[in-house]
Amino acid sequence: MKTIFIDRDGCVNVRLVGNWVMNWNDFEFMPGAISGIAALKKAGYRLILVTNQRCINLGKFSEDKLDELHEQMQSSLKNEGGFFDKIYHCPHDRDENCGCRKPQPGMLLQAAKDFGDIELSQSIMLGDQESDRLASEAAGIKTFYEISEAQTIADAAKLILAP
């Protein structure tokens, strides 16, 4: 099934300078994120969120609170017709050498394993950082769109859905 992997901070929500987004009050959707995610979902794409959250293993945030935050995000997205089919997060810190913290491709490979019908070479990744691009490349994904204020998820969706 056609699948798009999307990074969270800096793509779906605005990054907080010098801190992690750890409560709903700090979760501000990026321009174009809600409409872009809805457009891709309506076009039949499977959407998978892949996010590094080392705040968890630093002891600053918990898995339960992260799930709660993501449920709130999902319900806001659903109000506009979009949602993520699955959310993967890496809780590890930089020095733990896990296989899932981007730029490692572990979350993407795990998704391919879990779903069984993801053709990674035909999949797409949207991210705001070099580590997102590197993770997608390492997973064999050939199409990467860099997301920023200048090219939002809605802009990328237009390019993806262009005939």
- Taking CB under 5 A as the criterion, the residue among 101, 129, 141, 152 binding Zn ion is 101
Task: Please tell me which residue in 7, 114, 132, 155 is annotated as part of the active site.
Answer: 7
Tell me if 10 contacts Mg ion by CB under 5 A.
Answer: yes
* # of chain residues touching Mg ion (CB under 5 A): 5
Residue with tokens 């999307």: 6
The one-letter code for the residue type at 43 is A
Tell me if 90 contacts Zn ion by CB under 5 A.
Answer: yes
Smaller CB distance to Mg ion: residue 22 or 162? 22
9 among known catalytic residues = yes
- Taking CB under 5 A as the criterion, the residue among 5, 6, 9, 147 binding Mg ion is 9
Sign of CA dihedral 61, 151, 5, 161: positive
- Taking CB under 5 A as the criterion, the residue among 14, 98, 134, 138 binding Zn ion is 98
User: How far apart are alpha carbons 45 and 38 in whole angstroms?
Assistant: 10
User: How far apart are alpha carbons 78 and 130 in whole angstroms?
Assistant: 29
Smaller CB distance to Mg ion: residue 9 or 48? 9
User: How far apart are alpha carbons 10 and 152 in whole angstroms?
Assistant: 10
Residue 31: CB partners within 8 Å, gap ≥ 6? Answer: 149, 152, 154
Smaller CB distance to Mg ion: residue 104 or 129? 129
Phi, psi of 32 (to 5 degrees): 80, -5
Q: Considering only 6-14, 16-24, 33-41, 86-94, which stretch makes contact with Mg ion by CB under 5 A?
A: 6-14
The residues that are catalytic are: 7, 9
Q: Which residues bind Mg ion (CB under 5 A)?
A: 7, 9-10, 128-129
